[in-house]
A and B are shown apart, each in its own frame.
Chain A
Amino acid sequence: MNRAALLLLADGRFPAGGHAHSGGAEAAVTAGRITGPGTLEDFCRGRVHTTGLVAAALAAAAAAGADPLALDEAADARTPSPALRQTARRLGRQMMRAARTAWPSPGLDALATARPRGAHQPVVLGVTARSAGLTPPDAAHAAAYEAVTGPATAAVRLLSLDPFAVTAVLARLAPDLDEVAARAADAAHRCLTEGTGALPAASAPLLDVYAEAHAGRPVRLFAS
């Protein structure tokens, strides 16, 4: 048990660049589809059960010791949007910097050397969790948590939502996060024997549309 390290890793203040990203929320706000706590909750639930699940499984598999480069390739195949691939690698590189300072390890060094321009962020997150002595379910929880807190924080800023109402949204999503993390950890376990094909590949078509539309927009608050 290494619960404090998990809190540190999942904390929004962990300096890994996430604050500049909205996880598609800014584009959904622009499209008029996130307008308040209710639609934010629908957005976050969809995100965590799709790309959040995939990220959680990648992170859990990396934490379980699966080959991070194979996971990185699996992440590419699960990320058709080039804007999202670029974002994932950029955030991976930024997380790597914080991780190597906080929990230095040969595993992180090797991944940083193999992917100097950044591996997919969930993979880096998983290797980081491993370096911090965390378990695959821990890594899955951190990734699932991040999948909803990013958009929620961004929505607070973009729409000036009541922060208490948004925290209540996150609290209502907690069972979804637990369920996603459990499924992710289970898939990660199978990945060790069956390969990356055992990892979930849940997709969200509109997140891909948002990502490319947002990338082409000159005026925006968040990078993605």
Chain B
Amino acid sequence: MHLDHEHTVFPQRHTWAGPTARPDGSRRALRIGLGGPVGSGKTATVAALCRALRDELSIAVVTNDIYTREDADFLLRNAVLPPERIAAVETGACPHTAIRDDISANLEAVEELEDTVGPLDLVLVESGGDNLTATFSKGLADAQVFVIDVAGGDDIPRKGGPGVTTADLLVVNKTDLAPYVGSDLGRMARDARRQRGELPVVFTSLVAENGVAPVAEWVRARLAAWAAVPA
């Protein structure tokens, strides 16, 4: 619904997460980070994206679980990708450290996937559920998606924070629950616009048929921009 912003978004970002080529000269995968509070629907978004895009793209996923392999196991159980395309990184009680301050384990996991199942078009990196300040290092993710949900309170966009304010895409998920939790979607959209200016916001309900479509469209646009960058 808010995808009209994408061309205005892209020119702002001319930095990519490190070199665009792999050591052997081939183009590396576009890396998209998904962050957001616990339970907002990051894994559900990853799963739905894989289902929507796996026939047209070569995809792999890195999960950052906090103390279990639950996210990786969920993806495996639901067979959204073959197991060799899913890697789990352990984060030592500090999910934001692994995606922002010390990204070495995540980078290693990404490289490992490119080496074993590559070439890849897209790597989705799911952060462990964290607080509103958790963002991905530009050294790890080329673009980041921040996933919040309507059940976490409709004042989250107003509160802002680095995730809500600076993510390349803000996803407000679980719109199907809005009537039950008394969240005002219009207010959330207005607040998000105020915090984010031109940066895009999409509203999703992943329980709905093809509910991930707006996110998938945004990912396709990023991939097109990525492909246009000279390697």
Chains A and B share a contact (CB less than 8 Å)? yes
| A interface list, Cβ under 8 A from B | 13, 15-22, 90, 93-95, 97-98, 154, 157-158, 218-223
CB of A98 within 8 A of CB of B104, answer yes
| B interface list, Cβ under 8 A from A | 66-69, 89-94, 97-98, 101-105, 107-108
Residues of A within 8 A of B89 (CB): 20
CB of A93 within 8 A of CB of B92, answer no
- What are 19 A-B pairs at a CB distance below 8 A? A15-B101, A15-B102, A17-B105, A19-B94, A19-B97, A20-B89, A20-B105, A93-B108, A94-B104, A94-B105, A97-B104, A98-B104, A157-B92, A158-B93, A218-B68, A218-B69, A219-B68, A221-B93, A223-B90
CB of A219 within 8 A of CB of B67, answer yes
B73 to A: closest C-beta gap in Å: 9
B9 to A: closest C-beta gap in Å: 28
Nearest A residue to B23 by beta-carbon distance? A116
B108 to A: closest C-beta gap in Å: 6
CB of A90 within 8 A of CB of B92, answer no
CB of B90 within 8 A of CB of A220, answer yes
Measured in the bound complex, the distance between the Cα atoms of B176 and A176 in whole Å is 60
Measured in the bound complex, the distance between the Cα atoms of B105 and A82 in whole Å is 19
Residues of A within 8 A of B98 (CB): 19-20
CB of A221 within 8 A of CB of B69, answer no
Return the contact of B67 from the options A19, A98, A154, A220 (Cβ within 8 A).
Answer: A220
CB of B104 within 8 A of CB of A221, answer no
Nearest A residue to B89 by beta-carbon distance? A20
Instruction: Supply 14 further A-B pairs (C-beta < 8 A) apart from A18-B102, A20-B98, A154-B93.
Output: A15-B103, A17-B104, A19-B91, A19-B97, A20-B92, A20-B105, A21-B92, A94-B108, A97-B104, A97-B107, A157-B92, A157-B93, A157-B94, A218-B69
